[in-house]
Amino acid sequence: MTEFHGWGRYPRHDSALISPLAPGEVASLYDDADGRPRAGLIARGAGRAYGDAAIGDSATVVMRGLDRIRSFDRQTGRVTVEAGLLLADLIGVAMPAGWFPPVVPGTRFVTIGGMIAADVHGKNHHRAGGFGDHVETLTLALPDGQMVTCGPDHHPDLFRATIGGMGLTGMIVEASFTLVPIQTGWISQRTVVAPDLDRALAALRDAAEATYSVAWIDCLARGAALGRSLVYLGEHATPADLTARAGADRWPPAVGGRFTVPLDAPSMMLNRLSVGAFNALYYKRGARAAGQAMLVPWDRYFFPLDGIGDWNRLYGARGFVQYQCVLPMTAAAGTLADILERVSRAGHASFLAVLKQLGPAHGDLSFPMEGVTLALDLPVSARVLALLNDLDRLVVAAGGRLYLAKDARQSPATFEAGYPGRDRLRRLRHQIGAPGRLSSKLSTRLGI
Amino acid sequence: MTANALSKTLLVIGGSSDIGRAIASRYAVAGWQVVLAVRDVAAGTRNASDIAARSGRAVPVHRLDILETDQFAAMLDGLPVLPDTVVCVVGDMGDQARSEADPLAAQRVLRANFEGPALFLGMIAERFAARGTGAIVGISSVAGDRGRASNYIYGAAKAGFTAFLSGLRNRLAGRGIRVVTVKPGFVRTRMTEGMALPGPLTADPSEVGRAVFRAAEQGRGEVIYVRGVWRPLMMVIRAVPERIFKRMQL
Ligand SMILES: Cc1cc2nc3c(=O)[nH]c(=O)nc-3n(C[C@H](O)[C@H](O)[C@H](O)COP(=O)(O)OP(=O)(O)OC[C@H]3O[C@@H](n4cnc5c(N)ncnc54)[C@H](O)[C@@H]3O)c2cc1C
């Protein structure tokens, strides 16, 4: 038995560890060495889901040994990769050849399998959809030991259930998709200052044409400044943009791991005072730089937190939860104000608070819907968990839902209310013999 | 990537292993032509296509079983060019208890870790000596530095391999041929899967790749421990008197 936890380091569970080393081994893992069927398996990528999605009910299948690039066509940008490949690795190979993944989340230390299973969204969801929208085919090891290849036109039901399906339809072994061409590794970034929530939402809406958009929100601001934000818009820079910056390396290398958090920080390090001071400074500095476009290297634009190794330890030994909800456009403004108000009033310091605009998604269990998503990090405590239960009610009332890849604590009722595609997924799970065999702590907790 | 490096060829014996893959990748990044020799061609092809996709250069795969010593000459003759560097990563830890009970199992471990690699690298050495250039890298083990109760069959084979490499280095000194012995210590690989490994003593395969390249191509060391802490550690372990060592049951 090995103790597993997600990126939030809460909750922690014991699960048996299984590490396949080749694609051909995966399908046979559904039975143990004596040929007896195993129960309660789930695939795990890099463990960047915050909560309990990647912890098997009884055994966890770590897919990192499957990290080979099978093919990469430098003319068309089409790649076929094994599911345990790290996004960081793919970017390292693709970028110098002029290609970039069509969708990336906020960290590059995720696997391609994990990106498909969570149908991850990037700062371009409003235009590009989720990562799942770009998958052309994927190979899946089903619970009956069969390997199938599916895609939008091939076993579409299985495909739709697997995109965003949190590993509950099988283990993804390989996937093919096409990268997008880029001319440099820089992002031309423009900052829009939004002094309150309404103007933040308006700025995101007005930015529908921007390739990338995301808002950092000061979740401790109150009163008239409630929801004040810096909205970052980004475009892939061209070589012409670079001439302004003398000596700029066309493909800047990743600066990863400048600083690693060596120990669990005392949990009081991130308190109202320190985060409040940071937020105020950050907002001021951002406001000063607003207007003019600036060049930002790709890794700092897409993965600002990756520069600090193990930053999840900043929240102390008890861990933290990320609260990420999406709200349909019509209800977004009112409900967001309500949520921010309550978080701010409770005085909980969220070091990271992000707003993004999302478009529709295609997986049965995909998180995105047309609307706005808010993400907050909060240290685990009885008070925080109680506060989040209150926020759940607001989200459900607004017709929104919580992101399963971030979840560690929502109730089955909140899940049921938020995911209309759940029954279709359940039916498909029955068809393929998944119930009992494929289950995570998350799926058991929520009754998926 | 220099024009010179582009014309160079690396042959990895045991190219389907994690360490073999890491070494091959390090060379491919530097612009070398990489060739893999493997027992299991399907597994080797998986590594080869990965390295090819990353480097943009095809990676040929040849079949070679280190126990089939009579096939070595034909395999070498079948290569389009004599490589510039040969790295032998082959190894089989076996199972100590089984090796104690079953001489055939012990023989397999001895042959896979000593006889096969030594004979193959010996043949390579002859061809390198005739040409007057080349580098030979043998991946040995700290297990060969002193026999321990828990793995002395494997350790004895590795000790033999270490001694072979040392003798070869001695013989070829000053003749344009570099012989490098690598003792990786603990590495996160198939062999150590599922074991609890001491962090500071455990290297990633990519560290082994970098260390091999530094030693063989940049002339930085001839007998190397991938993680430096192993050197003083093994010095101490070698120095413990037998009378005490035999009671330690390592
Ligand atoms: C700092 C940070 C920023 C983030 N930013 C974003 C963001 O902007 N947008 C976003 O959408 N997400 C974001 N995430 C969440 C992250 O993208 C997802 O949790 C992603 O699924 C993690 O991938 P992983 O490889 O670590 O998977 P894991 O965490 O190991 O697993 C996640 C889920 O995928 C399943 N899974 C993994 N591999 C396979 C496989 N081979 N076959 C089948 N199922 C599999 C698991 O069962 C589990 O349900 C962020 C996470 C962090 C830590």
Residues B17-42: tens digit of each pLDDT: 999 999 999 999 999 999 999 999 99
pLDDT of residue B250: 74
pLDDT in tens, A121-152: 999 999 999 999 999 999 999 999 999 999 99
pLDDT of residue A287: 79
Asked if residue A270 has pLDDT above 80, the reply is: no
pLDDT of residue B1: 42
pLDDT of residue A141: 98
Cα→Cα distances B205→A42, A134, B212, Å = 27, 32, 11
Locate the DSSP E strands across B51-176: 61-63, 85-88, 134-139
Answer yes or no: are the C-beta atoms of B87 and B137 closer than 8 Å: yes
pLDDT of residue A256: 61
Nearest to B50 among A19, A68, A97 (CB): A68
Separation of alpha carbons A40 and A33, rounded Å: 16
The reply to whether B246 touches chain A by the CB within 8 Å rule is no
A367 by DSSP, 3-state: which?
Answer: coil
**Phi/psi at A190 (nearest 5 deg)?**
-120, 140
For residue B201, what is the DSSP state?
A: G
Separation of alpha carbons A165 and A167, rounded Å: 6
CB contact under 8 A, B50 and A70: yes
pLDDT in tens, A190-224: 999 999 999 999 999 999 999 999 999 998 888 99
A440 by DSSP, 3-state: which?
Answer: strand
* Residue B41 C-alpha, separation from nearest chain A C-alpha, in angstroms: 13
Residue located via tokens 């998180």:
A367
What is the arithmetic mean of pLDDT over A401-424?
98
Q: What is the mean pLDDT of chain B?
A: 91
CB contact under 8 A, B49 and A19: no
CB of A114 closer than 6 angstroms to any ligand 1 atom: yes
pLDDT in tens, B119-159: 999 999 999 999 999 999 999 999 999 988 989 999 999 99
The percent of residues above 90 in pLDDT, for chain A, comes to: 79
Answer yes or no: are the C-beta atoms of A112 and A83 closer than 8 Å: yes
**Band of residue A306 on the pLDDT scale cut at 50, 70, 90:** confident
Give A-chain residues touching B53 at CB under 8 angstroms. 69-72, 79, 93
Q: Is B70 exposed, middle or buried (0-12, 13-18, 19+ CB in 10 A)?
A: exposed
Cα→Cα distances A343→A116, A233, A273, A339, A378, Å = 31, 26, 15, 6, 10
The residue length of chain B stands at 250
Residues 41-60, chain B: which have Cβ within 8 Å of A? Answer: 42-43, 46-47, 49-50, 53-54, 56
Nearest to B49 among A19, A70, A97 (CB): A70
pLDDT of residue B197: 58
Asked if residue A180 has pLDDT above 50, the reply is: yes
Asked if residue A258 has pLDDT above 80, the reply is: no
Q: Please, which residues have CB within 8 angstroms of residue B172's CB and are 6 or more apart in sequence?
A: B125, B128, B129, B179
pTM: 0.93
Asked if residue A288 has pLDDT above 90, the reply is: no
What is the arithmetic mean of pLDDT over A235-251?
85
Longest CA pairwise span in chain B (Å): 57
More confident residue, A368 or B245: A368
Our mutation pick for probing the ligand 1 site, out of A42, A60, A66, A111, counting the most ligand atoms within 8 A of Cβ, is A111
pLDDT of residue A282: 81
A346 by DSSP, 3-state: which?
Answer: helix
pLDDT of residue B3: 44
Tally Cβ neighbours within 10 Å of residue A247. 5
Q: Is the dihedral of CA B98, B99, B102, B107 positive or negative?
A: positive
pLDDT of residue A113: 98
Radius of gyration of chain A, Cα coordinates, nearest whole angstrom? 21
More confident residue, B136 or B235: B136
Asked if residue B57 has pLDDT above 80, the reply is: yes
More confident residue, B198 or A311: A311
ipTM of predicted assembly, 2 dp = 0.87
Q: Please, which residues have CB within 8 angstroms of residue A351's CB and are 6 or more apart in sequence?
A: A270, A275, A278, A314, A377
The percent of residues above 90 in pLDDT, for chain B, comes to: 71
Which range (A439-443, B186-190, B200-204) has the least confidence? B186-190
**Band of residue A52 on the pLDDT scale cut at 50, 70, 90:** very high
Nearest to A71 among B42, B49, B190 (CB): B49
CB contact under 8 A, A69 and B49: yes
Residue located via tokens 């990863």:
A256
Separation of alpha carbons A171 and A84, rounded Å: 11
CB of A85 closer than 6 angstroms to any ligand 1 atom: no
CB contact under 8 A, B193 and A79: no
What is the arithmetic mean of pLDDT over A34-53?
96
What is the arithmetic mean of pLDDT over B169-183?
95
The residue in chain B having the minimum alpha-carbon distance to the alpha carbon of residue A24 is B43
Asked if residue A54 has pLDDT above 90, the reply is: yes
A399 token code pair: 């017709």
Asked if residue A248 has pLDDT above 80, the reply is: no
**Band of residue B229 on the pLDDT scale cut at 50, 70, 90:** confident
Separation of alpha carbons A7 and A263, rounded Å: 15
Asked if residue B160 has pLDDT above 90, the reply is: yes
Asked if residue A163 has pLDDT above 90, the reply is: yes
What is the arithmetic mean of pLDDT over A31-52?
95
Our mutation pick for probing the ligand 1 site, out of A7, A48, A312, A324, counting the most ligand atoms within 8 A of Cβ, is A48
pLDDT in tens, A320-349: 999 999 999 999 999 999 999 998 888 776
